A and B are shown apart, each in its own frame.
Chain A
Amino acid sequence: MITIKELGFSYGDHVVLKDISMELQEGRIYGLLGENGVGKTTLLTLLAGLKQVEDGTLEIDGQKPYNREPSFLSNIYYLPDEVPAPRRKAIDFAIDHGQYWSNFNAQKFSEIMTVFDTDQNQRMDHMSYGQLKKTFISFALACNTKYLFMDEPTNGLDIPSKAQFRKAVSKYTSDDSTLLISTHQARDLEAIIDPIIILDHKDVLLNASLDEIAEKLYFDYSSDVDPNALYQEMVPGGNIQVVRNTTGAESKVNIEALFNAVLLHKNEIKEMFNK
């Protein structure tokens, strides 16, 4: 389990994270959303042990990430937004690096590369950015780590690859793995992320499962405009509105609309979900 208590981090005088507290349960695929500069990447790098926590505590299964103990590192993998291009064939890189992760499965790497329609025998420094990203996504999933952190994994992927990414994550993630995926492309991941975490500059605005969200908020796709809607947007063929779910009616959560509603009504939504 990931436990974050009153976490604080700043770059010089610029405070990025302040008093952030949350718990991440095992076996779930968390979507980490937030505006630019709220500290999503910083949070992921802190979780991966690439930065040192300044205030508060951050523990993964009782271990402090920044100590970078091999036993800790073998349980996690962090896929950054920008990936390097080693001067090696993808398969050689995967086998050579994968040997340090005890659950790495080379067969699985090859399978996911096939799903992505990417040649594993191609040199990585000769790949396009999208191919490189797909290679690293394949490697990350093939490591079979207990915790997998991905920063904007669908950036640079073409439209078919985004669908392949969803398929790969759904098929090749084991049930007890915890994924934390930071993204601005909520629609790309709508089908796979649950719960949703929405981060603000110095706060966690929302950390709830889709069921909890649907229980408290109703996503209305009708053409009638509700004056009490928390968020309303015209879409082709009607509206999308987010309203309080007072009747217990069921609806499909629209992550983009949810995100906008949360940003417009921060305190109200926080209060609603903290009850």
Chain B
Amino acid sequence: MNRFGRYLVTDIKNAIARYGISFLIMATVSLTSYLLVGFFSTIVGAGWYSLEVAPRTVIMGITLIVLTITAPAKIFGFITDKKEGSSFLMIPASSLEKTLSMIIVCCVIVPFAFFAVYMSLDQILCLIDRSCGDSIMVTINNGQTLLTEAFRKINMESENVIPDYSSFTSVWLYFDDLAQGFLIFLLGALLFKSSKPAKTIGCLILLSIALSMITTPIITHGAMEKFKEAAANSNMTPEELFNMFPLISWSIKHAVLLDCISDTIVNLGLAIAIYFRTRKIKH
């Protein structure tokens, strides 16, 4: 195995040692929440009750957010620590190899292992207990089909105002958003010496405020009068409505592409920032 491969294996072992137990707790939330809900509903005399797919999906979403926030800091936060970080910096591998390995662990291995365990457990529970209804995996597949169908219908009714939205099912569309979350918190884990997730969230809030202050006037420039006009005229066709706001309608038409391009650019920027932080870190 080449050096990068060996390094990646070392990083995975390190991730298991530092985050294995927390990961297992989060990945098995589907099982624990199922047992807890059933247990407490039995205690209060309501009989065995299992959550439907909607609350189960919300719980999975919340768990995923917690995973995104905590995993990078727990697995790689030690790098800013003088004692442990020195040991990491001294390993004879290039900064690029170290960066790539960190990104693969955080953006690919951790989330995919999480989905694999979480959804498998959910699927098994739904097979055993039919009162659970559809599993999260089946629901997501159905949801994607419904979403694509809905947009196809809008397209037909509004003379192709909205282009083909079948790309909503594209894996990349979801992966780049997922990766972005992990990359942001990985960069935060490498930049801050303490309270890493809290400081990263603080920076994100400040950045969001600054960006909205810049972008809102650009998007709404001269549009208020048109908004009032559109609100007053309820007989407008979707096409007429779209033509009134060229920038907004252009953005909607190319939303999927724009999202992919912007996320890819931001993710690349984050990856480059992580690389330079790894290369220039001092102890």
Tell me the A residues contacting B by CB distance below 8 Å: 45, 48-52, 68-71, 73-74, 76-78, 80, 82-84, 86-88, 96-97, 99-101
CB <8 Å contact, A97 and B89: no
Contact A88 to B17, CB < 8 A, known contacts A50-B282, A51-B282, A82-B83: yes
CB <8 Å contact, A84 and B283: no
Q: List 22 A-B contacts (CB under 8 A).
A: A50-B86, A50-B282, A51-B283, A68-B89, A69-B94, A70-B3, A70-B92, A78-B90, A80-B83, A80-B86, A83-B83, A83-B87, A84-B78, A84-B81, A84-B87, A87-B18, A96-B13, A100-B7, A100-B91, A100-B92, A100-B93, A101-B92
Chain B residues with CB under 8 Å of A82's CB are 82-83
CA distance A70 to B10 in the complex (A): 16
CA distance A78 to B83 in the complex (A): 12
CA distance A86 to B110 in the complex (A): 21
CB <8 Å contact, A52 and B282: yes
Tell me the B residues contacting A by CB distance below 8 Å: 3, 6-7, 10, 13, 17-18, 78, 81-84, 86-87, 89-95, 279, 282-283
- Among A51, A96, A100, which residue has the most Cβ atoms of chain B within 10 A? A100
CB <8 Å contact, A97 and B92: no
CB <8 Å contact, B91 and A73: yes
CB distance from B67 to the nearest CB of A (A): 20
Nearest 8 interchain pairs by C-beta: A73-B92, A74-B92, A84-B84, A50-B283, A70-B92, A100-B92, A84-B83, A87-B17
CB <8 Å contact, A49 and B89: yes
Q: Which residue of B lies closest to A77 (CB)?
A: B90
Chain A residues with CB under 8 Å of B13's CB are 96
CB distance from A33 to the nearest CB of B (A): 22
CA distance A68 to B280 in the complex (A): 10
CB <8 Å contact, A68 and B283: no
**Which residue in B3, B78, B81, B84 is a CB contact (below 8 Å) of A100?**
B3
CB <8 Å contact, A68 and B95: yes
Query: Across the A-B interface, how many residue pairs have beta carbons closer than 8 Å?
Result: 60
Q: Which residue of A lies closest to B10 (CB)?
A: A96
CB <8 Å contact, A70 and B283: no
CA distance A237 to B212 in the complex (A): 82
CB distance from A127 to the nearest CB of B (A): 15
- Among B91, B95, B279, which residue has the most Cβ atoms of chain A within 10 A? B91
CB <8 Å contact, A78 and B86: yes
Chain B residues with CB under 8 Å of A99's CB are 6
CA distance A49 to B86 in the complex (A): 10
- Among B3, B6, B89, B92, which residue has the most Cβ atoms of chain A within 10 A? B92
Chain A residues with CB under 8 Å of B83's CB are 80, 82-84
CA distance A211 to B114 in the complex (A): 64
CB distance from A181 to the nearest CB of B (A): 17
CB <8 Å contact, A70 and B17: no
CA distance A259 to B283 in the complex (A): 29
CB distance from A129 to the nearest CB of B (A): 12
CA distance A87 to B19 in the complex (A): 11
Chain B residues with CB under 8 Å of A71's CB are 92
CB <8 Å contact, B90 and A70: no
Chain A residues with CB under 8 Å of B84's CB are 84
CA distance A68 to B282 in the complex (A): 11
Chain B residues with CB under 8 Å of A100's CB are 3, 6-7, 91-93
Q: Which residue of A lies closest to B20 (CB)?
A: A87
Chain A residues with CB under 8 Å of B93's CB are 70, 73, 100
CB <8 Å contact, A86 and B89: no
CB distance from B2 to the nearest CB of A (A): 12
CA distance A82 to B90 in the complex (A): 15
Q: Which residue of A lies closest to B283 (CB)?
A: A50
CB distance from A62 to the nearest CB of B (A): 17
Chain A residues with CB under 8 Å of B6's CB are 99-100
CA distance A100 to B9 in the complex (A): 12
CA distance A82 to B81 in the complex (A): 12
CB <8 Å contact, A48 and B90: yes
CA distance A274 to B167 in the complex (A): 77
Chain B residues with CB under 8 Å of A68's CB are 89, 95, 279
CB <8 Å contact, B283 and A86: no
CA distance A88 to B95 in the complex (A): 24
Chain B residues with CB under 8 Å of A88's CB are 17
Contact A70 to B94, CB < 8 A, known contacts A51-B283, A96-B13, A99-B6: yes
Q: Which residue of B lies closest to A71 (CB)?
A: B92
CB distance from B53 to the nearest CB of A (A): 38
Chain A residues with CB under 8 Å of B91's CB are 73, 97, 100
Chain A residues with CB under 8 Å of B95's CB are 68
